[in-house]
Structure 1
Amino acid sequence: MPFIELDAIDLRILSALQSDGRLTNQELADQVGLSPSPCLRRVRRLERDGFIRTYRAVLDRDSVGLGLTVFVEIKVEKHSRDNAQALQQALVSMPEVVACHMVSGTADFMAEIVVANLKAYERLLTDRLLVLPMIGDIRSNFALTRVKSDAALPLTHLKRETPGREPDC
């Protein structure tokens, strides 16, 4: 996707919607200093251009009974494109995997898994992960306390610099 330059109003719209995706168009327009029609046009353009992917509720994990978060480091047994793709597909298909990244270092993938408790993780590990033939090694890291999660993306790197002015740090 080609880089599309955003102006200050676009950035204010994105920041406001990251903070509260339920803002009405009128509330959003008031916050960013536009009238409702141009604000709605900008939001639709940001959606169309892929800056805004979706709107959803962020649920409290503990309230819905998902009290255990496990960060799982997975090493692929025999490095090949087919094995990596098969593992990616398997991880994507598991609803307990809420985030997954291909990484460098000692592991090939890092998956964030949420489950009800240790017994539920044991079942997932033994019944669904360890049976995958392309997995060579798994290391589980249990979250003790969630310090930061579901944070808004930082957008300061997208601000245009004003000529003659030092960039904000």
Structure 2
Amino acid sequence: MPENALDAIDRKIIDLLQADGRMSNQELSDRIGLSPSPCLRRVRQLEANGTIARYVALVDPDKVGLSVTAFVRVRLDQQDDRHLQEFETAVAGFPEVMDCYLMTGEADYQLRILVSSLTQFEDFLRRRLTKVNGVANVTTSFALRPVIYKTAVPTLQPL
């Protein structure tokens, strides 16, 4: 069994905190059916072992003027460790990059970019992303609207 195997109570704690990370320990313990002390111990253990990585506020991009979402596929001219690391380090410093995944298939990376306008995206693309050493090809698709957007990781019991 994995060192950090989750039982049903841990999964319930995670589900509830993913829905409301500001929930008090008292409310959490009431909803789970544990007394506050053991509930808090379980939360602290989930934090200590990295299962709960951090707490954040989820911000609506439109409310802060970031209404353009672009999905960018990037192909590098070389895929050795040095070039991959250089690219990853560069894009980690771009605040517009919300997600970056190393991919299989035709692209080496897929990025999710948030910007305020197509003009800002063009500026990002021309002056920053394509200037990263090793970028050979960039293909972009623009999102029309989100259909499903989840932030909570599913905690279903494995089959």
Give the TM-score normalised by structure 2.
0.95
Which runs of structure 2 are paired with 1:16-165 in the superposition (5 Å)?
A: 16-158=16-158
* Deviation string, structure 1 residues 6-52 (Cα, Å, up to 9, x no partner): 11111100000011101000010011111111111100000001000
The residue type equivalent to 2:123 in the other structure is R
Once residues 91 and 26 of structure 2 are traced to their aligned partners in structure 1, the CA distance between those partners, rounded to angstroms, is 40
Which string of whole-angstrom CA distances, capped at 9 and with x for unpartnered residues, describes residues 62-89 of structure 1?
Answer: 0010000000000011222111110011
Q: Could you list the runs of 4 or more consecutive aligned residues of structure 1 that deviate by over 6 angstroms after TM superposition?
A: none
* Partner Cα distance (1:79, 1:24) in 2: 47
Unaligned runs of 5+ in 1: 159-166
Backbone CA RMSD of aligned residues: 1.1
- Per-residue displacement from partner, 1:79-129 (whole Å, max 9, x unpaired)? 221111100111111111011100001000000010001011001001101
- Sequence identity, in percent? 41
Matched, 1:10 2:49: no
Whole-Å separation in 2 of the counterparts to 1:145 and 1:99:
17
For the residues of structure 2 that align with 1:102 and 1:96, how far apart are their CA atoms? 17
Which amino acid letter does the alignment assign opposite residue 35 of structure 2?
Answer: S
How many residues are paired up? 158
Aligned-partner Cα distance in 2 for 1:91–1:150:
23
TM-score, scaled to structure 1: 0.90
